[in-house]
């Protein structure tokens, strides 16, 4: 900490040279992004994953001459890794964590241009995965190249960990860690996402929520039957609705013990939350909603986003869902449920609580299929990597950054044995996970510079 | 009644000649059925309706030389009608009601052969609509032809009313009635369906349940959003689940006033229900279920099928329903609900009760979209058309028929101003409304004979 504070005489001139290189090569970096977006890589469907890992591997070789490795565990997406050793500062290592897999592109009919055919409109590159996380991944290769080309060195050792299952909960990343724990060590981690807020202020995020993702399924007959039989034959859609209804009342999750391990905000976290300006107006406009749950606002809203455990129906299906009316008694009904977790909730324990709750409520027949589970993670804003990100934000964006205690989102931060900071080139309307996902190209460049200066400052700390 | 009982000296010899003609021309009748099945006619999707009406019209001309009409009201499927006057008995008219529209074929992947490519396997013709209702429709033309070819006459006037919207609740049939009420008069109606039970006993059905079919929809944001926002943004899937949960507890519909107009079974209806043998074992086997709701059995089960108002989720959809996990906060959730009604429940009144119930429970924002509504209908087993069907069943099937107070299913019987009986050539495994729908060809023929003799006996009553 003291070390960071003393590095006041930071060499901005050398950084400017790196930035100039970034600017001069921008078009080529955008081409690399488009190339990566063009390759579908949907982990949920095992679609194009190997191909995308290959492209990332080749890009590491081609752009920064890295001796990249494509690690492959049975049944898992490949992990693409590489290391660039620093000549001047070999004692410190920063890890750059990104993912090359993306969300499914559905619903396809809501896209204005095909999700796998990147196009630039109004300074934004559109396509599935453009923002989450391909712009970040390409940006980090680009900033590394910019260091190497201007300094013939990197500020400290760079370690790239590019995974292919982030969007399905990084289900195998712990296995790669078991194989090679060294990959997950280091002095600091720059996380895969980051953005400006709706007022163009850079956001430094210090943590992520955890997740427990399950599917609840109820079944009965061996086929969809005529709905006239509903007078005597149990309807799994009703079973599911009644079972779901027992999980939540208002915003309270009704599963006994669910809140037992929830860690309270520390005074300094609360202070950060208070300082963080609210973006309520922007979010409402963005989503076209009149207000938030229960009229929530201000600190309460910020606390909910950073620290409220949630239980969300992400998807639900049963019977006939086409146009018009079909009188059918469904054979099956299912719902995908995403529970977001906060420190120190434990996914495995919560899964057991859920099962036991359903049993006690009489829904022993409702199947719970585990899909993913990750605990939450948080870094202190006083860590050197956090301080470097805060200072670099001020310098690159020329604005006081927003420091966020935790993202409302999730990621496998907990697997990395080092302080972690999430920064990057995103913005609130990037429509990650939605149709018309896009990356703003001005921020693609600015994000690169921000991460570059963060690492440069961190290397000196 | 007395009249029916005196017609003991029924001329079986003349009927035998008709039956012989049926037998000799069976293959051609099956070809007609295949031709009709080959034409998709899904009212819910407006798919192939006009084309199918045209084929039915041509078939009426070609097979029985009828001067058929294709009536067409704006926005409605065409109504195909025809009349064959009786030379010997012009004072009595029987109406033959059928429908040429069918249920959607989805889910397509569960069909063993394509739904619109009829094939015969093991004496069954497979295809969407084969059983419901194309075999019946073709069968009635075939039996009319058989009368005309053997007697050069029909036993009484025949009136054909073939509609194209039965599977979407006959939503426009009342408009056709307004245009031409005469079409809906007559002395008796033979309804569109009928079958043997699982023990091959012919079933005479005297009524149908009514229906109120609605769609409930909850919406919030203008797009699917990242599910991390669920901490503050209302989830329409949860709104829908909670709203649905207020509609039903166990088998009780919780909407105030729902049961107010329910007519109780008469003592003679109860007697028929008692006499009716239960088919519990067969139904369980057919659907692959262990038991019925609440362990229901015997008279209780038969009463439920014939006279219990139901509330059924026929379909439900929200958010991401593909493979794997997608962390999405859905913008919308909807459920298709089928309420089956009994005499004397009124669909319009119940729709208002539903709306008012949702409002009172705090779900004013949940949209209720009306899809179809029909009251229930019942004929006395002592009516001449019922007695004729019962006697003809015994004669053709050589088994005591099962007399059913009401089908658990629905149809626009209430629109016809005459006693009505439902008989035909179906069987319990015809998989109507399900994949692998099929018509058993032996029953296709036997059903024709049964309907023919029923009309012949009714004409004499």
Contact of B367 with chain A, judged by CB distance below 8 Å, is answered with no
B218 assigned to some structural domain:
yes
A315 → closest Cβ in B241, B289, B318: B318
Contact B409 A287 (CB under 8 A): no
CA–CA dist B76, B53 (Å, integer): 12
A34 assigned to some structural domain:
yes
Chosen domain end from A374, A397, A431: A374
State the nearest Cα–Cα gap between B17 and chain A, in angstroms. Answer: 38
Residues A247 and A135 in one domain: no
Q: So what's the pLDDT on residue A417?
A: 87
**Contacts (Cβ under 8 Å, ≥6 apart) of A443:** A195, A196, A425, A426, A427
Q: Least CA distance to A106: which residue of chain B?
A: B320
Contact B320 A106 (CB under 8 A): yes
Contact B226 A433 (CB under 8 A): yes
Q: Which of residues 188-227 of A touch B (CB under 8 A)?
A: 209, 211, 213, 215, 220-227
CA–CA dist B270, B403 (Å, integer): 11
Among the residue ranges A123-132, A352-361, B3-12, B230-239, the one predicted with the least confidence is B3-12
Q: How many CB pairs under 8 A join A and B?
A: 303
Instruction: Enumerate helices (H) and strands (E) in chain A, giving the number of each.
Output: 13, 22
State the nearest Cα–Cα gap between A289 and chain B, in angstroms. Answer: 5
3-state DSSP: chain A helix, strand, coil percent, rounded to 5?
40, 20, 35
Give the DSSP H/E element, type plus range, for residue A33: helix A26-38
Substitution target from B221, B307, B336 for chain A, most A beta carbons within 10 A: B336
Average confidence (pLDDT) over A390-416: 93
Average confidence (pLDDT) over A375-402: 95
Residues B324 and B452 in one domain: no
Q: So what's the pLDDT on residue B276?
A: 85
The boundaries of the domain holding residue B147 are 2-208+376-460
Q: Least CA distance to A299: which residue of chain B?
A: B232
Contact of A234 with chain B, judged by CB distance below 8 Å, is answered with yes
A185 burial (CB, 10 Å; 0-12 / 13-18 / 19+) is middle
The pLDDT mean for chain B works out to 94
Residues B70 and B148 in one domain: yes
Question: Which residues does chain A have within 8 Å of residue B330's beta carbon, measured at their own beta carbons?
Answer: 313-315
Question: Tens digit of pLDDT for each residue in A66-77?
Answer: 999 999 999 999
Average confidence (pLDDT) over A6-34: 89
B280 burial (CB, 10 Å; 0-12 / 13-18 / 19+) is middle
State the nearest Cα–Cα gap between B32 and chain A, in angstroms. Answer: 26
Average confidence (pLDDT) over B241-266: 96
What phi and psi values does residue B243 have, to the nearest 5 degrees? -65, -45
Residues A341 and A414 in one domain: no
Q: How many CA atoms lie within 13 A of B159 on its CB side?
A: 19
Average confidence (pLDDT) over A298-306: 94
Query: Which of the four pLDDT bands, split at 50, 70 and 90, describes residue B192?
Result: very high
Contact A292 B234 (CB under 8 A): yes
Give the rounded percent of residues in chain B with a pLDDT score beyond 70. Answer: 98
B166 assigned to some structural domain:
yes
State the nearest Cα–Cα gap between B203 and chain A, in angstroms. Answer: 17
Residues B43 and B87 in one domain: yes
Residues B156 and B246 in one domain: no
* Closest of A316, A165, A299 to residue A240, by C-alpha: A316
Query: Which of the four pLDDT bands, split at 50, 70 and 90, describes residue B10?
Result: confident
Q: Which two tokens stand for residue B214?
A: 């609605």
Chosen domain end from A374, A397, A425: A374
Q: Are B118 and B36 in contact (CB under 8 A)?
A: no
Average confidence (pLDDT) over A417-421: 94
Residues A329 and A386 in one domain: no
CA–CA dist A219, B375 (Å, integer): 31
Q: Which of residues 408-447 of B touch A (CB under 8 A)?
A: 408-410, 431-435
A280 assigned to some structural domain:
no
Q: Helices A136-151 and A12-24: crossing angle, nearest 10°?
A: 120
State the nearest Cα–Cα gap between B326 and chain A, in angstroms. Answer: 7
pTM, entire model? 0.80
Residues B406 and B356 in one domain: no
Average confidence (pLDDT) over A231-253: 97
Residues B390 and B365 in one domain: no
Q: Which two tokens stand for residue A377?
A: 């993670």
Give the number of other CB atoms < 10 A from CB of residue A417.
Answer: 13
Q: So what's the pLDDT on residue A7?
A: 46
Q: So what's the pLDDT on residue B196?
A: 96
Distances in whole angstroms, Cα of residue B264 to Cα of each of B212, B305, B341, B405: 20, 14, 13, 12
Contact of B299 with chain A, judged by CB distance below 8 Å, is answered with no
Residue B168 has pLDDT above 90, yes or no: no
Domain of residue B314, CATH code:
3.30.70.360
The total number of structural domains that make up chain A: 2
Q: So what's the pLDDT on residue B433?
A: 86
Contact A229 B408 (CB under 8 A): yes
Q: So what's the pLDDT on residue B417?
A: 87
Domain of residue B401, CATH code:
3.40.630.10
Q: Least CA distance to A429: which residue of chain B?
A: B225
Question: Tens digit of pLDDT for each residue in B50-96?
Answer: 999 999 999 999 999 999 999 999 999 999 999 999 999 999 999 99
Q: So what's the pLDDT on residue A165?
A: 96
Q: Which of residues 371-390 of B touch A (CB under 8 A)?
A: 371-372
Query: Which of the four pLDDT bands, split at 50, 70 and 90, describes residue A6?
Result: very low
Question: Which residues does chain B have within 8 Å of residue A223's beta carbon, measured at their own beta carbons?
Answer: 110, 287-288, 431, 434-435
The pLDDT mean for chain A works out to 94
Q: So what's the pLDDT on residue B277?
A: 78
Residue B451 has pLDDT above 90, yes or no: yes
CA–CA dist A359, B274 (Å, integer): 38
Q: Least CA distance to B215: which residue of chain A?
A: A325
Q: What does the angle CA A366 – CA A369 – CA A374 come to, to the nearest 5 degrees?
A: 135
Q: Which of residues 30-59 of B touch A (CB under 8 A)?
A: 43-45
Question: Which residues does chain A have within 8 Å of residue B434's beta carbon, measured at their own beta carbons?
Answer: 223-226, 328
Contact B237 A326 (CB under 8 A): no
Q: So what's the pLDDT on residue B11?
A: 81
Q: So what's the pLDDT on residue B7?
A: 45
Q: Are A402 and A459 in contact (CB under 8 A)?
A: no
B290 assigned to some structural domain:
no
Residues B327 and B383 in one domain: no
Residue B2 has pLDDT above 60, yes or no: no
Question: Which residues does chain B have within 8 Å of residue A242's beta carbon, measured at their own beta carbons?
Answer: 245
Q: Is A254 helix (H, G, I), strand (E, B) or coil?
A: coil
* Closest of A165, A210, A260, A231 to residue A377, by C-alpha: A210
Residues A358 and A453 in one domain: no
Contact A235 B313 (CB under 8 A): yes
Q: How many CA atoms lie within 13 A of B433 on its CB side?
A: 23
B285 assigned to some structural domain:
no
Question: Which residues does chain B have within 8 Å of residue A287's beta carbon, measured at their own beta carbons?
Answer: 220-223, 225, 229, 233
Q: Roughly how many angstroms between the first and final C-alpha of chain A, as a whole number?
A: 8
Substitution target from B305, B325, B338, B408 for chain A, most A beta carbons within 10 A: B325
State the nearest Cα–Cα gap between A222 and chain B, in angstroms. Answer: 5
Contact B409 A237 (CB under 8 A): no
State the nearest Cα–Cα gap between B240 and chain A, in angstroms. Answer: 9
Contact B316 A237 (CB under 8 A): yes
In DSSP terms, which residues pair with A218 in a beta bridge?
A: A333
Q: Least CA distance to B311: which residue of chain A?
A: A230
Question: Which residues does chain A have within 8 Å of residue B422's beta carbon, measured at their own beta carbons?
Answer: none
Question: Which residues does chain B have within 8 Å of residue A369's beta carbon, measured at their own beta carbons?
Answer: none
Contact of B318 with chain A, judged by CB distance below 8 Å, is answered with yes
Question: Which residues does chain A have within 8 Å of residue B338's beta carbon, measured at their own beta carbons?
Answer: 227, 230, 325, 327
Q: So what's the pLDDT on residue B286?
A: 86
Question: Tens digit of pLDDT for each residue in B26-49?
Answer: 999 999 999 999 999 999 999 999
Q: So what's the pLDDT on residue B3?
A: 43
Contact A45 B324 (CB under 8 A): yes
Query: Which of the four pLDDT bands, split at 50, 70 and 90, describes residue A433?
Result: confident
Q: Least CA distance to B103: which residue of chain A?
A: A326
> What's the ipTM?
0.80
Residues A158 and A234 in one domain: no
Question: Tens digit of pLDDT for each residue in B418-439?
Answer: 999 999 999 989 999 889 999 9
Q: How many CA atoms lie within 13 A of B366 on its CB side?
A: 29
Q: So what's the pLDDT on residue A2?
A: 39
B295 assigned to some structural domain:
no
Chosen domain end from B374, B397, B420: B374
A431 burial (CB, 10 Å; 0-12 / 13-18 / 19+) is buried
In DSSP terms, which residues pair with A313 in a beta bridge?
A: A337
CA–CA dist B340, B195 (Å, integer): 21
Q: Which two tokens stand for residue A230?
A: 């509903």
Average confidence (pLDDT) over B343-372: 97
Q: So what's the pLDDT on residue A398?
A: 96
Q: So what's the pLDDT on residue A110?
A: 93
Give the DSSP H/E element, type plus range, for residue A226: strand A225-226
CA–CA dist B339, B333 (Å, integer): 19
Average confidence (pLDDT) over B353-371: 97
Q: Which of residues 72-131 of A touch B (CB under 8 A)?
A: 103-104, 106-107, 110
Question: Tens digit of pLDDT for each residue in B293-342?
Answer: 999 999 999 999 999 999 999 999 999 999 888 899 999 999 999 999 99
**Contacts (Cβ under 8 Å, ≥6 apart) of A452:** A15, A18, A19, A22, A143, A146, A147
Residue A461 has pLDDT above 70, yes or no: yes
B267 assigned to some structural domain:
no
Substitution target from B217, B312, B408, B430 for chain A, most A beta carbons within 10 A: B312
Question: Which residues does chain A have within 8 Å of residue B220's beta carbon, measured at their own beta carbons?
Answer: 287, 289
Among the residue ranges A134-138, B11-15, B182-186, the one predicted with the least confidence is B11-15
């Amino acid at each position: 900490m003291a070390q960071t504070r003393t590095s006041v005489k930071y060499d901005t001139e050398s950084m400017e040279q790196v930035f100039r290189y970034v600017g001069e090569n921008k078009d080529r970096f955008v081409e690399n992004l488009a190339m990566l977006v063009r390759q579908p890589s949907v982990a949920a469907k095992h679609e194009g994953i190997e191909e995308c890992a290959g492209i990332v591997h080749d890009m590491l070789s081609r752009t920064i001459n890295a001796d990249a490795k494509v690690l492959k565990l049975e049944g898992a997406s490949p992990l693409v890794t590489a290391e660039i050793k620093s000549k001047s500062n070999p004692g410190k290592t920063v890890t750059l964590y990104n993912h090359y897999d993306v969300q499914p592109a559905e619903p396809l009919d809501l896209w204005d241009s095909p999700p796998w055919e990147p196009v630039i409109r109004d300074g934004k590159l559109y396509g599935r995965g453009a923002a989450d996380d391909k712009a970040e991944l390409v940006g980090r290769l680009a900033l590394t190249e910019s260091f190497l080309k201007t300094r013939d060195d990197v500020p400290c050792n760079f370690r790239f960990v590019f995974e292919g299952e982030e969007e399905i909960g990084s289900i195998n990343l712990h296995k790669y860690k078991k194989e090679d724990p060294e990959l997950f060590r280091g002095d600091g981690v720059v996380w895969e996402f980051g953005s400006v807020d709706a007022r163009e202020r850079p956001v430094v995020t210090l943590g992520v929520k955890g997740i427990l993702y399950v599917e609840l399924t109820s079944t009965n007959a061996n086929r969809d039957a005529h709905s006239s039989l509903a007078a005597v034959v149990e309807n799994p859609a009703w079973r599911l609705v009644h079972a779901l209804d027992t999980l939540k009342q208002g915003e309270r999750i009704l599963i006994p013990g669910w809140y037992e391990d929830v860690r309270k905000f520390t005074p300094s976290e609360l202070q950060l939350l208070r300082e963080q300006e609210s973006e309520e107006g922007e979010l409402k406009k963005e989503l076209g909603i009149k207000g938030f749950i229960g009229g929530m606002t201000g600190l309460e809203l910020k606390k909910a986003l950073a620290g409220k455990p949630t239980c969300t129906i992400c998807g639900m299906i049963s019977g006939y869902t086409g146009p018009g009316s079909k009188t059918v008694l469904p054979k099956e009904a299912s719902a995908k449920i995403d529970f977001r977790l906060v420190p120190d909730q434990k996914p495995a324990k919560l899964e057991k609580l859920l099962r036991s709750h359903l049993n006690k409520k009489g829904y022993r027949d409702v199947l719970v299929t585990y899909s993913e589970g990750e605990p939450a993670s948080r870094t202190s804003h006083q860590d050197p990597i956090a301080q470097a990100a805060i200072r670099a934000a001020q310098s690159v964006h020329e604005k006081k950054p927003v420091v966020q205690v935790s993202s409302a989102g999730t990621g496998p931060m907990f697997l990395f044995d080092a302080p972690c900071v999430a920064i990057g080139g995103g913005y609130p309307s990037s429509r990650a996970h939605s149709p018309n996902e896009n990356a703003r190209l001005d921020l693609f460049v600015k994000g690169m510079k921000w991460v570059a200066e963060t690492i440069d400052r961190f290397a000196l700390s």
